[in-house]
Amino acid sequence: MDINDLRWHDGNIMKFELSPKYGEEAEIWIHAELYDDSERTQGRDEFLIKCCGVSRFNAACDLIELNENRVAGSINHGSLKANVLRISLFEGFVEIQAQNFHVSKR
């Protein structure tokens, strides 16, 4: 699945994992619950977004707001342009610049 095909709106980020791998390629894993329109299922499905060769990571968010908006969904929008993934959250954002992005459905 291509990262630009994900339906980010009303999804949730459940967990971040960061592996700096000093002297090697850094990686970030984003565990997200998103709607999958391709299968017409009710509710959100689990996705893993693996960011490889990360050169920059920037995030600011209100964790209380993320938790309070979990039922409705805490993600407003997501997009990948010029190797920078930008996720707009309700009360925050995430930006990751990486060489490659891989998406798998859990």
Q: Which domain holds residue 12?
A: 3-105
Please state, in angstroms and rounded to a whole number, the distance separating the CA atoms of residues 47 and 44. 9
7 and 35 Cβ atoms separated by less than 8 Å: yes
- The model's pLDDT over 19-30, given as tens digits with 9 standing for 90+, comes to 988 767 899 999
Q: What is the pLDDT of residue 52?
A: 94
Please state, in angstroms and rounded to a whole number, the distance separating the CA atoms of residues 9 and 89. 9
- pTM, two decimals, is 0.90
- The model's pLDDT over 36-73, given as tens digits with 9 standing for 90+, comes to 876 666 789 999 999 999 999 999 999 998 889 899 99
- The model's pLDDT over 70-96, given as tens digits with 9 standing for 90+, comes to 999 999 999 999 999 999 999 899 999
Q: What is the pLDDT of residue 75?
A: 96
- Could you tell me whether strands 75-81 and 56-61 are parallel, antiparallel, or unpaired per DSSP bridges? unpaired
Please state, in angstroms and rounded to a whole number, the distance separating the CA atoms of residues 51 and 86. 12
Q: What is the pLDDT of residue 42?
A: 77
Strands (E), the chain: 7-19, 26-35, 45-54, 56-61, 75-81, 84-89, 92-97, 100-105
Number of structural domains, the chain?
1
